[in-house]
């Protein structure tokens, strides 16, 4: 029995960040999704890690669904964004559509918007609105401060239950392969 998702919503930055390992992870994740017929659902931009990820999926013959709010459809954000594109009225509608299309969630490095998406999806899971896997790709320790903050929230009594049980942290795309039991290429 396999638990390979048919579609994964990926939250990640609209910038590439200061570490080439982030872009490499986005690219490698895109190739992994395409090679295993896993649809990418993402924020619809063609820039930063979002663009790297989506182009890697598209370049390797995979399926890409971008979901973007109307106010972000400016040419500098949309440049070279591949795949099917759905435009929503606002960020809240975008998040709901991204969540509905997901069999699982993966979080790459990103900024405040990526943090908001991670917190939203964790909150929805805590409140019983979904029970889908959430995997945080902690490339070069990027998400370690966030993990520490979530532990702090539990330690200080502001969470009902252990937040760390709601998601899994991995440090590489190779570890993600193991999480979803994706067959290794021969």
Task: Tell me, yes or no, whether 185 lies in a domain.
Answer: no
CATH number at residue 126: 3.40.50.450
Lowest mean per-residue pLDDT among 28-42, 55-69, 73-87, 141-155: 73-87
| Rounded Cα gap, residues 59 and 56, in angstroms | 5
In this prediction, residue 186 carries a pLDDT of: 55
Task: Tell me, yes or no, whether 2 lies in a domain.
Answer: no
In this prediction, residue 143 carries a pLDDT of: 98
- The answer to whether 180 touches 60, Cβ cutoff 8 Å, is no
Task: Tell me, yes or no, whether 184 lies in a domain.
Answer: no
- Helix and strand totals (H; E) in the chain: 7, 7
Task: Tell me, yes or no, whether 142 lies in a domain.
Answer: yes
| Rounded Cα gap, residues 132 and 19, in angstroms | 29
- pLDDT band at residue 73 under the 50/70/90 scheme: confident
* Mean pLDDT score across all residues of the chain: 93
* Per-residue pLDDT tens over the stretch 98-127: 999 999 999 999 999 999 999 999 999 999
In this prediction, residue 2 carries a pLDDT of: 55
DSSP string, 55-68: HHHHHTT--EEEEE
Task: Tell me, yes or no, whether 28 lies in a domain.
Answer: yes
In this prediction, residue 1 carries a pLDDT of: 35
Task: Tell me, yes or no, whether 186 lies in a domain.
Answer: no
| Two structure tokens written together for 99 | 């969540």
Dihedral sign for Cα atoms in the order 163, 167, 172, 174: positive
Closest CA to 53 of 109, 111, 98: 109
* Per-residue pLDDT tens over the stretch 15-69: 999 999 999 999 999 999 999 999 999 999 999 999 999 999 999 999 999 999 9
Task: Tell me, yes or no, whether 1 lies in a domain.
Answer: no
Burial 14-28 (b: 16+ CB within 10 A, else e): bebbeeeebbebbbb
The total domain count for the chain is 1
Q: What is the dihedral of CA 179, 125, 50, 142, to 10 degrees?
A: -70
Task: Tell me, yes or no, whether 183 lies in a domain.
Answer: no
Domain that holds residue 118: 7-178
In this prediction, residue 185 carries a pLDDT of: 64
């Amino acid at each position: 029995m396999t638990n390979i998702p048919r579609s994964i919503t990926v939250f990640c930055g609209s910038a590439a960040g200061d570490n080439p390992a982030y872009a490499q992870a986005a690219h490698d994740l895109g190739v992994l999704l395409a090679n295993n017929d896993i649809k990418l659902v993402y924020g619809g931009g063609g820039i930063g890690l979002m663009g790297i990820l989506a182009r890697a999926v598209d370049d390797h013959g995979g399926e890409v669904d971008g979901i973007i709010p109307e106010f972000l459809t400016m040419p500098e954000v949309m440049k070279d964004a591949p795949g099917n594109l759905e435009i929503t009225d606002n960020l809240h509608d975008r998040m709901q559509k991204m969540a509905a299309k997901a069999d699982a969630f993966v979080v790459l490095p990103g900024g405040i918007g990526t943090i908001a998406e991670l917190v939203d999806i964790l909150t929805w899971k805590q409140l019983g609105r979904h029970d889908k896997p959430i995997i945080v790709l902690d490339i070069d320790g990027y998400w370690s401060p966030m993990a520490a903050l979530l532990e702090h929230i539990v330690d200080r009594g502001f969470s009902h239950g252990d937040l760390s049980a709601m998601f899994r942290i991995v440090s590489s795309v190779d570890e993600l392969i193991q999480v979803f039991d994706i067959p290794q290429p021969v």
